[in-house]
């Protein structure tokens, strides 16, 4: 019986990851799912958050922002709007994006800004910072903050 399957993560501009893995866990708009070998096929719309996978028993993380997951018995294809490996995340950029988005949300009371857009930008920045935290601690996140 198959014990592994292919995981491929692509964005509109690049192939982010191609691996043979034991399992994949990701956040869809209707909740978290875990795909194992020989999983029944399904499609899921992805939300912003951490995708994790096990390769030879080792857990690893990828930041994924929106898009779709196509799950099949021998392959999971993630088509994300944006995706980054932990080593690709620019923490300073995420912090600045988070500050900008917070300032925009603050300014919302005074002037009309795009609240939904600012909130989505804040969610992405917080998720990138959380991923670095989770990836550095192997899942034992130091931060209690939720995205
Ligand atoms: P920013 O305001 O900093 O651009 P954003 O959340 O609006 O952040 P996205 O629209 O999610 O950015 O992504 C645009 C592109 O920039 C994607 O290719 C994404 O991988 C990359 N990117 C965004 N933020 C970071 C980051 N902190 N570190 C590395 N790459 C990033």
In the Cβ-directed half-sphere of 2, how many Cα atoms lie within 13 Å?
15
**Is there a domain that residue 145 lies in?**
no
Structure tokens at 31: 């909740």
In the Cβ-directed half-sphere of 100, how many Cα atoms lie within 13 Å?
13
Do 68 and 18 have their domain in common? yes
For ligand 1, atom 11, name the residue with the nearest CA: 82
- Out of 10, 66, 81, 93, give the residue to mutate to test ligand 1, the one with the largest number of ligand atoms within 8 Å of its CB: 93
pLDDT tens string for the chain (147 positions)? 679 999 999 999 999 999 999 999 999 999 999 999 988 999 999 999 899 999 999 999 999 999 999 999 999 999 999 999 999 999 999 999 999 999 888 877 666 667 888 889 999 999 999 999 999 988 775 554 444
Residues having CB within 6 Å of any atom of ligand 1? 65, 82, 84, 88-90, 93-94, 97, 121, 124, 128
Cα angle value 119/121/122 (rounded, 5°) = 65
Look at the pTM and tell me if it is higher than 0.75: yes
Which residues is 10 bridged to in the sheet? Answer: 15, 79
> Cα(88)–Cα(64) distance, rounded to whole angstroms?
12
Do 18 and 81 have their domain in common? yes
Give distance in angstroms: CA of 56 to centre of ligand 1.
30
Do 16 and 48 have their domain in common? yes
* Residue range(s) defining the domain that contains residue 131: 91-137
What total number of domains does the chain contain?
A: 2
DSSP 8-state assignment for residue 87: G
**Is there a domain that residue 26 lies in?**
yes
């Amino acid at each position: 019986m198959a014990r592994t399957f292919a995981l491929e993560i692509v964005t509109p501009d690049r192939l982010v990851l191609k691996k043979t893995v034991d399992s994949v866990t990701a956040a869809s708009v209707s909740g978290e799912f875990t795909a194992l070998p020989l999983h029944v096929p399904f499609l899921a719309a992805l939300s912003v958050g951490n995708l994790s996978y096990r390769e030879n028993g080792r857990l690893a993380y990828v930041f994924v922002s929106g898009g779709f997951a196509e799950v099949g018995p021998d392959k999971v294809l993630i088509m994300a709007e944006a995706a980054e490996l932990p080593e690709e995340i620019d923490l300073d950029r995420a912090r600045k994006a988070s500050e900008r988005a917070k300032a925009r949300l603050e300014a919302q009371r005074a002037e009309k800004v795009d609240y939904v857009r600012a909130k989505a930008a804040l969610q992405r920045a917080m998720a990138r910072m959380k991923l670095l935290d989770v990836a550095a601690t192997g899942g034992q996140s130091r931060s209690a903050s939720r995205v």
